[in-house]
Structure formats: C-alpha cells, structure tokens
Amino acid sequence: MHAMDSHAGWFLENVWIIPLVAAVSFLAILFVGKRLPERATAGIGILAVAICLVLSGGVAVQWIDRTNHPPEVGHATTGAGHGGTEEAPADEEGGHAPGALSAGESAAAPVVGAAEGEAHESVPPVVKELTWFQIGGIEFKAGTLTDGLTAMMLVVVSTISLLVHVYSREYLHGDVRFTHYYAFLSLFTASMLFYVVSSNTLQMLVGWELVGLCSFALIGHWWEDKSNSDAALKAFLTNRVGDTGLIVGVVVTFFAAGATSFGVLHLNEYALSPEANQTLLLVGGLCLFAGVTSKSGQFPLHTWLPDAMAGPTPVSALIHAATMVVAGVYLIARLYAVFFEGLNIQFNSINYIALIGAITVVGGAALAFVQHDLKKVLAYSTISQLGYMVMGLGVGAWTAGVFHLFTHAFFKAGLFLGAGSVSHAAHHTFDMRKMGGLRKHMPSTYRTFLICTAALMGIFPLAGFWSKDEVLAGAQQGQQQGYTLMLVMGVIGALLTAAYMTRAIYYTFFGEYRGEGHPHESPKIMTIPLWVLAFGGLTFGLLNLPKAFQIDGVIEYTTRFEHYVEPTFLFPEVEHPEFSLPLALVSTALALLGIALAYQYYWLERSPLKGLSARQPFTAGYTLLANKYYLDTLYTDIVVGTTKGPIARASYWVNQHVIDAVVDAAGAISVAVGRVVYRDIDQKVVDGLVNGSGAGAEESGEVLRHIQTGKVQQYGAILFAGAAVLAAVFVIAV
C-alpha cells in the first residue's frame, strides 16, 4: 500500500474506478447481452450503476469529512507528493497546486466565505494524474480531480442513472433493441461519470463528445421511424456547432495559460493570477460558452432539445433533463475562474452568459405553452430551467446555479419518468389532447407528478423554491451591483413556469379521459423510482437553507450545500446573495398568480384571457410561438436553404466560369510547355545524355575488354605491377 494523503480517503483517491465500473458494464452487455434474457441484461446494468452509486456515496462522505477536517497546506504538499504510486512524476500537478496556494495566497486569496463569519478553510481538491502523452517536452496529464462539485455530480448522475436503469426494465420491456438500449445507457453513465471526474479540459472534451454520441444513439433508438433518426441527427449536428466553439475555447485557454497544461486547476489558477490576459480569457470563455449553448440548450441553439424527445422517455429523463444537458453548466462551474474573470462578472450588471441565460428562461417557458406533447412541454421547461442555472452562474451566484442543477435533476427526472408512466398507461402517446382524467386511474403517478411540478414551480418549501429563489437573489444582489434585467426576466420565468405546468397538469390528469382503451397504473418497478425522485423534489431544497433560517437549537445547519460543494481552492471571491424575503414573496406570489390564471383559463373556462390567442394583436404572438420563434425555419430554410440554393448556384457559376477557365487555361499552358519540353529538352538534351552515356560505356568497354583475359596469372601480374608502382611512389615520395 502506498503512502497517501492521510486526509484524502480511499474513495477520493480512486474515483477513476467509478466510470470504469459503468464502462465494464457497457462491454459486458454489448458482448454477452444478446445471449442473456432481458432480466440478466438489465441486471448487469443495474448492478454496475448501483456499485457506482455506492462508490459515489463514499466519495461524498469522504469529501464532507475532508471539508470538516481540511488538510494543512504543508501537509497536503507532502501527502500529494507521496500520493503517486507508479505515477510519481505525474503527481506534479497535485503537488504543485497546494504549493501554488502557499505562494499565491496573497494574490489569489482562495479563502471564500471568511467575510460571512463562517471560517471557510481552503480545501484543496484531490488530484490523481498520470502522464497521458508527451509532445514537445510538455507532459499532458490524464487523471481525476475530486472536490465537492465532482462528488455532487457523481451522486446525482449515479442516482438518476440507477433509477432510470430500474425504470427502463419495465418501460422498455420487450423492445427490439433492449440490449442495445442498456448497453448505451451504461456507456452514457460511464461517459458522464468520466466527464465529471476529469482533471483537465482535454479529457472533459472526450467525455463531452462521448455523452453526445450516446445521446445521438439513444434519441435514434427507434430509428425505423424517419422522424426519430432525423431528431437524432439534428441533435448531433446542432451540438457540433457548439462543440466547434468548445474546441476553440479549449485551445485558446490552453495557450492563454502558458501552453503547458490543460489542467482545470492550472487554468483557474492562471485566470485568478494578476498577470492573466483578460481579453484572452474573454475570448476563451465565449468560445467555451458556445459549447455550453448547444449542449445545455441555451438560446439560440436549444432547438435540438425538444426534438430529442423522440428518444425513449427514460433517456429523456436521464440525458435530456438531469445529466447530459447540465454538462455545459458543469463546464462553467468547473472553469468558473475563467468565466468570472474573462466576463468580468464581478463588476458588471450585464454580461453575455447571464443575458443568454435570462433569454433562455423566458423564451423556453413561453414556448412550453403552445405544445400539445407532454414531453415537449417538459423539454421546453428544461430549457427554461437550464437558463436559470446559466443565469445564476452568469450573475456570480455560483452556488445558486449549481444548487439549481442539483434540485432540478431530481424533480425534472421525476416529471419525465412520470410522463413516461402516463404514456405507458395511455397507449404510448404523449399527446395531451388524448389524455385527461388520469388522476383517478394512476394515483401514484399523479401524486409524484404533482409534487415534482410544485417543486418546479417553486412552491414553498419544495426543492425548486430554494434553488430558484437563490438564483433570483443572486441576480438581485449581483456582485458589486445587481443584475436587474436578469432578475426581472427570472421572475417572469417563474410566473410562466407555474402557468404552463398548470396547463400540462390540467390536460393530463383532469377532465375526462380522451384516449383509447383503459388507462391503468404502472407497475411498482416504475412507480418506486417516481417516489424516490418526488422525495428528492420535496426535501432536497433543505440542503441549502439560507442563513436567515438558522434558528439555534432547531435548525442548526444552513447553507450546507454551499459549504461542501462550493470550491474554496483556486476559486474567485464571490459574494453570496442573502435571502430576501420580499423577493421570495414576490416570486411565490407570481407563481401562484400563474397557477391561478391558468386555473381560471383551463378549468373554469371563463378567464379574462379567454380567446387571447385569437385576438388580433396576439395571434401574431401565438404564431411566433407555435413556430418556435422561426428558429428552425432560420436554420433549415435560411441557413441551410441559402447554402443549398443561391449559394450553391453561385458556386456552380463560379465553378463553371471562373474555376473551369482557370483550369482550362492551366491545361492549355501546360500542353504548350509540354510540347516545347518534349521537342527541345527531352528529345535533344536528355536523350542525348542518355544515349551518350550508353555509347561511352560501350566504347570504353570495347577497349577495356582486352584487359580481361580470364587468365589469372595476367591479373596477378597486373596486381604485382601496380603494387610495385605504388611502392616505388612511396619510396620516392617519402
């Protein structure tokens, strides 16, 4: 057993095992799954993810322990230096980072929260790396970086993945590609876990692309239907647009930070150092944000996410609600120093990330009103909620954004799985016009759906209330000044969220059943995951109670999430928003107003808003929404259309008239030149030389053949004569 950092436990040191377990499960299912019964295939996947969950739990527990008893800086240095087993030189990063802390304490000042009274000691993350490859004397590392954010993501991903694995056992029962489905589910889990434990941006890029691939494969799971494979392609291609930016961003940040390491800690350290080039950070940050825009469904590259609902519903819950789409949010959170310094979040009242987030909040929520497909309502809701997360990070409220990611993962996965359960009952349709009245038929699904919806709307005291309110408080208070525009849009988003979810609930669970057959409650294997997620949506907000709620003797632990998850090491100094009672009341009141308006509109059908969409000034709005802001039209008809149409014709003309002329001229000139060369140079000069050398060889051979008599003694005589001459020359000359 090698010497370890005595404070970093086994789980923190060996997080690499977690993605490996899922990857092994992928290979096992891929190679032997076909020959096994469904139960065994699903069993492999469920077992592997359960192991991942246990290990992730171990990581979380040990991280909490490490935060409670932070290693002393000097000790951490020696510990990390010893930490390497076979990767002794590779531990440089780990040994280097705490060293940089002691050196850069005055410059970077990674101690956060000291201003708030609670002693937030700097807890260095656990880094384990070995050399991946070497180019030009630079060693590129691959490894794991474990801190609170990683631990939180590990737990979220494994939990949701486990529930989805269990749920899919029934949902995908009897599917043609059951094995394929489980294999990709495992691969996705492995890739996502790999992504969150990555210690450098290059590795994150690999994980990022892998989850994209799994998303593509799973959206197109039922590819026999053309629209499904189209949706998969659309998701893939839209993501490529952003990924280009991501790659450029990775390269820009790499070169900005001295072109020595892709390490996350290295980049953050550089961004926080006084010699950082703010322009480069801004460019790098915006390029990285292009990747976030596509992966996390931000305006205007969100269009793939609703179409991605073509995949099986558990996949939508896992990939397109809880985990993969938050990869972008995670990227911002991971490289927060780059964004914080690059976009100057501290001193601004508006910046690109916060603005895009805010637009996404309102834009996504508005689009959810005109959908008839339950899953698409949820998809636009996801877009809108992702907007909240990005907005939270954009205004400097790191914890709020990440906390919203955490709570949203549970209640939104619950909503998606609930929608799947509904569809399972209502003959595999997601069209809300063919549902209705399911409240009586599916009590479990109804109750969990209601709880998760309330959490999403931000009803006190469910999870969404706390996290959304924290984002809004962050926007209100900002860093040096408030982000007022974002606050207003965020509050409007809260109102819209409540209203469209009321509409969805009304269509799905109330009124009379409008579909075919007799709906029935789903089996326990599907409802148990629903209850688990509903429990999360109900209570997980309490993990980060604001400080104002601290009552001695009753509620001792507030801001636990912030305390354990927020990095304190190489992290910008962020101000934490205070809980604001008026803001909480306003946002709750608006949510209730949204519910009331929707209730009046849909239940009582005597709303002052009745016929709104038919009235003249508003039809245009409705049409705009129904056509999804014409973004798809913009992309397919204008961007792709012009590329195919006029641009294609123009390029054909250029091809025919310019390029062909050039080619023809070049051809004619080469022919003329070729003739001259043939006649004068080739025939006369080259052939002359060749023939001359041949003739010369022949003539000299004719002379010299007389010497070669075949008589050995003659040769010997010549040899001795030559030797005698040389000896004579030697004697005379020396």
Partner 1 sequence: MLVNQFLFLGAILFCIGVYGVLARRNGVLVLMSIELILNSVNINLVAFGTMWHATDASNLSGQVFALFVIAIAAAEVGVGLAIVLMLYRNRRSIDIDDVDLMRG
Task: Return the number of the residue (614 or 704) whose C-beta is nearest partner 1.
Answer: 704
Residue whose CB is less far from partner 1, 274 or 710: 710
Q: Which is nearer to partner 1, 174 or 710 (CB)?
A: 710
> Contact at 8 Å (CB) between 499 and 369?
yes
Helices 327-334 & 148-171 angle (0-180, nearest 10):
170
Q: Using the rule CB under 8 A, is 731 a contact of partner 1?
A: no
Q: Which residues contact 572 (CB under 8 A, 6 or more apart)?
A: 272, 336, 337, 340, 341, 346
Cis peptide before 110 (omega within 30 of 0): no
Residues 58-97 that bind partner 1 (CB under 8 A): none
Q: How far apart are CA 264 and CA 489, in angstroms?
A: 32
* Binding segment toward partner 1, per CB under 8 A, in 264-272, 347-355, 681-689, 701-709: 701-709
Residue number, 176 or 718, with CB nearest to partner 1 = 718
Q: How far apart are CA 329 and CA 397, in angstroms?
A: 13
Instruction: Check binding of 620 to partner 1 (CB under 8 A).
Output: no
- Distance (Å, rounded) from C-alpha 115 to C-alpha 609? 49
**Closest CB 701 distance from partner 1, rounded Å:** 8
> Any contact of residue 700 with partner 1 (CB under 8 A)?
no
The residue from 638, 680, 708, 729 that contacts partner 1 (CB under 8 A) is: 708
**Shortest Cβ 714–partner 1 spacing (Å):** 8
Interface pattern 141-180 for partner 1 (x via CB under 8 A)? ----------------------------------------
Shortest Å, Cβ 663 to partner 1: 57
| Choice between 589 and 717, CB closer to partner 1 | 717
Q: Which is nearer to partner 1, 88 or 718 (CB)?
A: 718
706 sits near partner 1 (criterion: CB under 8 A): yes
**Structure-token pair, residue 476:** 């209100």
In this structure, is the dihedral angle defined by the CA atoms of residues 93, 99, 101 and 107, taken in order, positive or negative?
Answer: negative
CB 400 within 8 A of CB 308: no
**Contact flag: residue 707 with partner 1 (CB under 8 A):** yes
Tell me which residue of 442, 422, 447 sits closest to 535, measured CA to CA: 447
Q: Residue 132 — φ and ψ, nearest 5°?
A: -90, -55
Shortest separation between residue 725's beta carbon and partner 1, angstroms: 15
The answer to whether 490 touches 359, Cβ cutoff 8 Å, is no
Which C-beta is closer to partner 1: that of 119 or that of 704?
A: 704
Coil, strand or helix at 293: helix
To the nearest whole angstrom, how small is the minimum distance from the Cβ of residue 708 to partner 1?
3
Q: Applying CB under 8 A, what is the total number of residues that bind partner 1?
A: 13
41 contacts: CB under 8 Å, gap ≥ 6: 29, 33, 178, 179, 182
CA-nearest of 149, 285, 254 to 570 is 149
Under the binding rule (CB under 8 A), the answer on residue 710 touching partner 1 is yes
Whose tokens are 């409007």? That residue is 492
The C-alpha atoms of residue 425 and residue 617 are separated, in whole angstroms, by 40
For the chain, the maximum distance between any two Cα atoms, rounded to a whole number of angstroms, is: 132
For residue 705, state whether it binds partner 1 (rule: CB under 8 A).
yes
Stretch that binds partner 1, among 17-25, 92-100, 455-463, 706-714 (CB under 8 A): 706-714
Please pick, from the candidates 225, 675, 720, 727, the single residue that binds partner 1 as defined by CB under 8 A.
720
Q: Which one of 235-243, 492-500, 608-616, 698-706 is the stretch in contact with partner 1 (CB under 8 A)?
A: 698-706
Minimum CB distance to partner 1, residue 704 (Å): 8
Nearer to partner 1, 39 or 705 (CB): 705
Binding segment for partner 1 (CB under 8 A), chosen from 229-237, 339-347, 475-483, 707-715, is 707-715
**Counting contacts by CB under 8 A, is residue 703 touching partner 1?**
no
Residues 6 or more apart whose CB falls under 8 angstroms from that of 214 comprise 184, 187, 188, 191, 319, 324
Can the peptide bond before residue 461 be classed as cis, meaning omega within 30 degrees of 0? yes
Q: Residue 192: how many CA atoms within 13 Å on its side-chain side?
A: 34
| Distance from C-alpha of 69 to C-alpha of 73, rounded to nearest angstrom | 12
Closer residue to partner 1 in complex, CB, 102/708 = 708
Q: Can residue 730 be called a binding residue for partner 1 (CB under 8 A)?
A: no
Cβ-based nearer residue to partner 1, 137 or 710 = 710
Going by the DSSP 8-state scheme, the letter that residue 133 receives in this structure is E
- The answer to whether residue 716 forms part of the interface with partner 1 (CB under 8 A) is yes
Burial class of residue 611, CB neighbours in 10 A (0-12, 13-18, 19+): exposed
Minimum CB distance to partner 1, residue 732 (Å): 19
SS3 (DSSP) at 146: strand
Please give the Cα distance from 50 to 34 (Å, whole number).
Answer: 22
Does 717 contact partner 1 by CB under 8 A?
A: yes
699 binds partner 1 (CB under 8 A): no
Find tokens 């808003």 and name the residue: 609
Smallest separation, CB 92 to partner 1 (Å): 60
Site membership for partner 1, residue 725 (CB under 8 A): no
- The residue type of 20 is L
Of the ranges 319-327, 396-404, 544-552, 709-717, which one interacts with partner 1 (CB under 8 A)?
Answer: 709-717
646 vs 701, beta carbon nearer partner 1: 701
- The secondary structure of 394-410 as a DSSP string is HTT-HHHHHHHHHHHHH
Q: Report helix, strand or coil for 28.
A: helix
Give least dist CB 706 to partner 1, A. Answer: 7
Of the residues 604, 704, 732, 734, which one makes contact with partner 1 according to CB under 8 A: 704
711 binds partner 1 (CB under 8 A): yes
By CB under 8 A, tell whether 698 contacts partner 1. Answer: no
How open is the CA angle 156-580-564, to the nearest 5 degrees? 30
Fill in the amino acid letter for 692: G
Note whether 733 binds partner 1 by CB under 8 A.
no
Angle ∠(408,602,520) on CA atoms, nearest 5: 65
**How far apart are CB 719 and partner 1 at their closest, in Å?**
9
Stretch that binds partner 1, among 134-142, 219-227, 292-300, 710-718 (CB under 8 A): 710-718
Q: Buried (b) or exposed (e) across 587-604, using 16+ Cβ within 10 A?
A: bbebbeebbebbbbbbee
Among 279, 633, 709, 727, binds partner 1 (CB under 8 A): 709
* Contact window for partner 1 (CB under 8 A) among 97-105, 240-248, 661-669, 716-724: 716-724
Q: Judged by CB, which is closer to partner 1: 685, or 718?
A: 718
Q: How far is the CB of 693 from partner 1 (least distance, A)?
A: 20
Candidates 582, 617, 713, 733; binder of partner 1 (CB under 8 A) is 713
Please say which residue, 712 or 731, places its beta carbon nearer to partner 1. Answer: 712
Phi, psi (degrees; rounded to nearest 5) at 464: -60, -30
Stretch binding partner 1 (CB under 8 A), from 66-74, 328-336, 583-591, 699-707: 699-707
Q: How far is the CB of 733 from partner 1 (least distance, A)?
A: 21
Q: Shortest gap between Cβ of 721 and partner 1 (angstroms)?
A: 10
Per-residue b or e along 259-288, where b marks 16 or more CB atoms closer than 10 Å to that residue's CB: eebbbbbbbbbbbbbeebeeebbbbbbbbb
Tell me how far apart the alpha carbons of residues 482 and 240 are, in angstroms, rounded to a whole number.
35
Q: Residues in the site for partner 1, rule: CB under 8 A?
A: 704-713, 716-717, 720
